[in-house]
Amino acid sequence: MTLRDRLSALHGADATALEAFWAAVPPGDPVVERTDRPGSVRVTFLHRDHGARAVHCGLARVTDRSHWRSGLMTRVPDTDVWWLELVLPSDLRTGYAFRTFDAEAPADEHFGGRPWQPVGPRATATVELALPDAPLPDLATRHRPHVDVTTHETPWGTAWTTSPAAARTLLVLTDGRTWTERLDLPAVLAAFVEEPVAIAALDSGTRDERLARLGGDTGYAEFLADAFLPWARTATGVDADRDRTWFAGQSLGGLTALLLAARRSAAFGTVVAQSPSVWWHPAGGRTPADMPPVDATPWIHEQLAPTPGRSTRVLLHAGTLEGTTPHHIDTAAERLRALGHDATATPFTGGHEPLCWRAALVEALATGRTPMRGGVASAT
């Protein structure tokens, strides 16, 4: 019996049948089934709630924003069973969360940032979903060893460091709180990367501070290379040579990464720019909704100009669900290669999602080279 058949059989079911259903299919765990379409799987999300009037299953860039209606779940009448079936790419990685509401969901013409009144918490915790053909499909479930993380109050804000024994590679990051507290990167690296990696991650401050620092600020990129990197070497005790010194930035931080590759290439042997905010412009007034079309030249590309320095390996990552960003990282890689850098642009199946960035970054560090879609590339 298929899951759809089992859901149909619940119509009019008594309490015993409902309990048996939930015992066999725990709520919150999506059921993944292969389809007859290569590269696709059928994913059924289940949520248990008797009192809600509406439930939404949010997946980044799949059932959010203009696609929000596709995330509204169906209730099996007179039960606490809510379900949503989606056909998704088999190599998709994303996060999902449930939100429950005490009123019917509004119609399209009524949904324009209007808040829904939730039943209980605003949303459940975001859960990572890695479908069967996604790179590192067990990233969320593999056992992670404990890693000591040291917190520092520096003149530039809070920073977090790790100093694994025998580490010879140093990874510098912005958005340190996200990487250490939310994404647990130190423990994930210990679980997946054979060679120890030391981390120095600097907090990016408030939303406004982050926009000012990472929004294409050449001066901040220079600070990271000239001041924070020497501090990181001392704080971690890992005086890695240039070829073993990495920088990774995401979203606005991806702009910083590209500026480092172009303007401070002597500092880092490998720079990782993930989903760079190609919409950003110093004139201001732009948002991610102002994504440049494929025939436009983003501001950041104009900054990739010849400068004295050494060749840097640049790994660019972007999600296939991020509009024109994959096209623009391709053209950025072309510009960087023309300047003599070893630049590679690699798409992943997903959206503007930290869980995707974590997987791609871990894979790159594990292999010592750019990640490959659908699996781990062999090391050179």
Q: Are residues 175 and 84 in the same domain?
A: no
Residue type, 239: D
Residue 137: inside a domain: no
Residue 243: inside a domain: yes
Residue 172, SS3 per DSSP: strand
What confidence category does residue 342 fall into, taking pLDDT thresholds of 50, 70 and 90? very high
Residue 374, SS3 per DSSP: coil
Residue 309: inside a domain: yes
Q: Are residues 107 and 156 in the same domain?
A: no
What confidence category does residue 240 fall into, taking pLDDT thresholds of 50, 70 and 90? very high
- Boundary residue ending a domain (130, 163, 180): 130
Provide the number of structural domains found in the chain. Answer: 2
Residue 53: inside a domain: yes
Q: Are residues 194 and 304 in the same domain?
A: yes
Q: Are residues 188 and 104 in the same domain?
A: no
What confidence category does residue 371 fall into, taking pLDDT thresholds of 50, 70 and 90? very low
CA distance 150 to 161: 5
Residue 356, SS3 per DSSP: helix
Residue 346, SS3 per DSSP: strand
Q: Are residues 94 and 164 in the same domain?
A: no
Residue 377: inside a domain: no
Taking the model in full, what pTM does it have? Answer: 0.90
Please name the residue that has the structure tokens 């089992």: 6
What confidence category does residue 374 fall into, taking pLDDT thresholds of 50, 70 and 90? very low
Residue 145: CB atoms within 10 Å: 8
Residue 341: inside a domain: yes
> Nearest-CA neighbor of 60 among 356, 262, 378, 294?
356
Q: Are residues 315 and 201 in the same domain?
A: yes
Is residue 276 within 8 Å of 322, Cβ to Cβ? no
Range of the domain at 10: 3-130
Structure-token pair, residue 73: 């779940």
Is residue 130 within 8 Å of 140, Cβ to Cβ? yes
Mean pLDDT of the 200-222 span? 92
Structure-token pair, residue 72: 């509204």
CA distance 275 to 369: 18
Q: For residue 117, what is the domain's CATH number?
A: 2.60.40
Question: What length does the chain have?
Answer: 380
pLDDT of residue 108: 52
Question: Per-residue pLDDT tens for 309-325?
Answer: 789 999 999 999 999 99
Q: Are residues 185 and 222 in the same domain?
A: yes
Question: Per-residue pLDDT tens for 8-60?
Answer: 999 988 999 999 999 988 766 899 999 999 999 999 999 999 888 888 888 88
Mean pLDDT of the 238-250 span? 96
Residue 136: inside a domain: no
pLDDT of residue 89: 97
Q: Are residues 62 and 178 in the same domain?
A: no
What confidence category does residue 377 fall into, taking pLDDT thresholds of 50, 70 and 90? very low
pLDDT of residue 380: 30
Question: Per-residue pLDDT tens for 283-305?
Answer: 888 888 899 999 999 999 999 98
Residue 377: CB atoms within 10 Å: 17
pLDDT of residue 115: 42
Is residue 49 within 8 Å of 56, Cβ to Cβ? no
Q: Are residues 105 and 155 in the same domain?
A: no
DSSP labels for 100-150?
Answer: EESSPPPPGGG-SSPPP-BSSSSSPPPEEEE-TTSSSTTTTTS-------E
Q: Are residues 97 and 230 in the same domain?
A: no
49: CB partners within 8 A, 6+ apart: 55, 80, 82, 100, 119
Is residue 97 within 8 Å of 63, Cβ to Cβ? no
- Boundary residue ending a domain (98, 130, 162): 130
Is residue 280 within 8 Å of 302, Cβ to Cβ? no
pLDDT for residue 66 is more than 80: no
For all residues of the chain together, what is the average pLDDT? 89
pLDDT for residue 183 is more than 90: yes
Question: Per-residue pLDDT tens for 102-127?
Answer: 776 655 543 344 344 445 446 678 89
Helices (H) and strands (E) counted in the chain, each on its own, are 11, 15
Q: For residue 273, what is the domain's CATH number?
A: 3.40.50.1820
pLDDT for residue 79 is more than 50: yes
Mean pLDDT of the 69-74 span? 91
pLDDT of residue 28: 64
Q: Are residues 43 and 176 in the same domain?
A: no
Cα torsion 340, 346, 352, 354 to 10°: value is -90
Q: Are residues 119 and 158 in the same domain?
A: no
The percentage of the chain sitting over the pLDDT mark of 70, rounded to a whole number, equals 91
Structure-token pair, residue 92: 């998709």
pLDDT of residue 122: 60
What confidence category does residue 177 fall into, taking pLDDT thresholds of 50, 70 and 90? very high
Residue 281: inside a domain: yes
In the chain, DSSP assigns E strands to 31-34, 40-48, 54-59, 74-75, 81-89, 93-101, 127-130, 150-154, 157-162, 169-173, 197-202, 245-250, 270-274, 313-319, 342-348
> Nearest-CA neighbor of 18 among 72, 101, 78?
78
Residue type, 191: A
Question: Per-residue pLDDT tens for 145-170?
Answer: 999 999 999 999 999 999 999 999 99
CA distance 107 to 114: 11
